[in-house]
Structure 1
Amino acid sequence: MPHHEKIALRGVIENVFAHRFTVLSKGQTHLADLGPKGAEAFPLVEGLTVTLEGERRPSEIKVLRISKKGGHPVDIEHKKPHHGPKHHHPDVAADPELILKAVGKAGWTVEGEPERKPKHFEVLAYQGEGDWTELHVDFAGVIYKEKPADAHKWGIEA
C-alpha cells in the first residue's frame, strides 16, 4: 500500500467540480477531493473558508476531515473501490497449474505461461477461431475479467 503524506491546511474554496474543489492557501492552489458521499455531508461553496486534513496524493488531496470557519469538523470516509462479485481474492496459493487447468476447463486455449500479478494471473488465450483475449484469473481459478489482448504487451500480431 502506498504511503501518502498527511497534510492540513486552511484556505478559501475557489472552484467546485462536483466532489472535487480547489482551495487557495498561502498563495498556492490545491486540488482536493471529498468523494461523492463527502460532498453530500459537507456542501462545497465557492468563497467558503475551510480547514481540511487529508492525504496528499500525486494529483490531489484526499480529504479525511473538513470544517468551515466556526463550524464542527466533518469526517469523510473514502471506501475502497468495489470490483463486483466475481472479483475476489481468495486465500489460496498462487498456483499457475491450477490457473491453466481452470482456463482450459472453461474452453480457452492458452498461449505461453500465466503472468503472475500480486492478486491474480493474466493469461493470453483464445476460444475456437476467436481473437486473442487477456484473461484475469484469481488464485482460485475464477476468470473475472476478459478483454481484448494488447498486441504490444503480449508480443502478438494484431
Structure 2
Amino acid sequence: MPHHEHIALDGVIAHVFAHRFTLVSKDQTFLADVGPKGAQAFALSPGLAIRLEGEQRPSEIKVARIARKGGAFVELEHKKPHHGPKHHHPDAPADPRIVLAAVKKAGWTVSGEPERRPKHFEVVARQGAAAWTELHVDFLGTVYKEKPADPDKWDLPA
C-alpha cells in the first residue's frame, strides 16, 4: 500500500488516547489521529459509531473529516509543527562554502570542516580567545544555535 493513500471508513471507536483512537471497522482495528484541535472539535468516546476520511500513513490514519454515523462531517486540519525563528529549514542547496563564509563573516574562526546534517551544518568555531563553540547553521548561512563544543565529539585544537 502506498503511503498517504486516501481512505474512508465507518465503524465504532474502541479506545481513546487523547486525540488518537482505535476504530473497529469490518473486523479490523485501525489507529486514527484527529490532532489536539480535532479532539476539541469532535468529542471522541468509546462505543461511538462514526465515519471518517483521511490519509493512511504507515502508523495511523490522519483524519481529515469525521462524523457521527448519520451526522454531518467535521473538517479537521493537521498543521505541520511550527518551530521558532531560530529553527528554520530553508529549501536551499547544502553548500558548506556558504556556511563557512557566513560564519567567518560573523567573526568566528572555524576549526575543521562543517559536518552535514539533513537540515543544517554543524561547525566548531570560536571568537577571539573564547571557548570553542558548536554552531548549527542552516543552508542559507544563518547561525540559529550555539552551544559549548563537546571535546569528545570534536577534535578541538589546543
Shorter-chain TM band: 0.7 to 0.9
**For residue 140 of structure 1, what is the aligned residue in structure 2?**
140
Match of residue 123 from structure 2? 124
Secondary structure of residue in 1 paired with 2:6: strand
Q: Which residue of 2 aligns with 1:73?
A: 73
1:110–1:123 CA contact under 8 A, matched in 2: no
Correspondence 1:28 to 2:28: yes
Counterpart of 1:86?
Answer: 86
Find the aligned partners of 1:125 and 1:53 in 2 and give their Cα distance: 48
The aligned amino acid for 1:122 is F
Task: Name which one, 1 or 2, has greater alpha-carbon Rg.
Answer: 2
Q: Check whether the contact 2:114–2:121 (CA below 8 A) recurs between aligned residues.
A: no
- 1:150 CA displacement: 9.1
Aligned length: 151
Q: C-alpha displacement at 1:151, in angstroms?
A: 9.4
Aligned to 1:47, what secondary structure does the other structure show?
Answer: coil
| DSSP 3-state at the match of 1:98 | helix
Q: Per the alignment, in what secondary structure is the counterpart of residue 10 of structure 1?
A: strand
Consecutive unaligned residues in structure 1, runs of 5 or more: none
* Residue 62 of structure 1 pairs with residue 46 of structure 2: no
Measured against aligned partners, the alpha-carbon deviations of 1:91-134 in whole angstroms (never above 9, x if no partner) come to 766543221122232536342245264xx431231444447x3x
Q: 1:143 to 1:101 in 2, by over 3 A?
A: same
Residue 12 of structure 1, CA deviation:
0.5
> Could you tell me whether the CA contact under 8 Å between 1:100 and 1:114 is conserved in 2?
no
The equivalences for 1:109-120 within 5 A come to 109-115=110-116, 117=118, 120=119
Amino acid at match of 1:107: W
* SS of the residue 2:59 aligns to: coil
Pick closer, same or farther for the CA change 1:83–1:34 going to 2, 3 Å: same
Letter in 2 for 1:109: V
Determine the structure 2 residue equivalent to 1:5: 5
1:63 Cα offset (Å): 0.4
2: distance between equivalents of 1:151 and 1:7?
50
TM-score, with structure 2 as normaliser: 0.77
For residues 38-65 of structure 1, the C-alpha deviation after alignment (integer angstroms, 9 at most, x for no partner) is 1111110110011111111111110001
TM-score (norm 1): 0.77
